[in-house]
Amino acid sequence: LLNQAFEDKISAIKKAGEILIDLGCIQSEYIDSMIERDEKISVYIGNGVAIPHGMAGSEKYIKASGVSFIQVPKGVSFGPDKIAYLIIGIAGVDEEHLEILAKLAITCSDMGKIEKLRTGTSTFCLINHNSLLLTLFHAMSHYSPSGNMRPVGNFEMFHGSCAGLFIFCMVK
């Protein structure tokens, strides 16, 4: 989702989880685990990025591995000096979440790309003028043991005909 605003980090985490629910990747209980994770260890990873994900033991609420993307141009606070402009929710079947987290952390280390994602005004713009979204997709599709990752919903959304959505789920 693009150009979103949240009162607080809990609202942002819930929205990232709701997207994953809508995609059929998780059950609602996983959102509680995402919030608990942030309470115990911040899901803010730096560079204006937060990656909400569940605690150990929450795997039973994951139906399929997936990623949700939310752009928050004005940011949402995840604590002192921790303003997130990009919220990337993840759910990973089995141990896949660790690999997804590692690839996202590496990909999100480029501040130039992060700034473009933060300020982009359409999905088409983000994809055509910033390779980070494509990099995220390729990193995850190359990670998938089966190599079997697909966009969920209308594929044209990925190409920008319907701004505001960038989400993929792995299919086993």
Catalytic residues: 53
Q: Closest Cα to residue 34, out of 24, 46, 48, 20? A: 20
Distance of alpha carbon 3 from alpha carbon 12, whole angstroms: 12
Answer whether 100's CB lies under 8 Å from 90's CB: yes
Answer whether 93's CB lies under 8 Å from 32's CB: no
**Can you state the angle between helices 132-143 and 111-119, rounded to 10 degrees?**
110
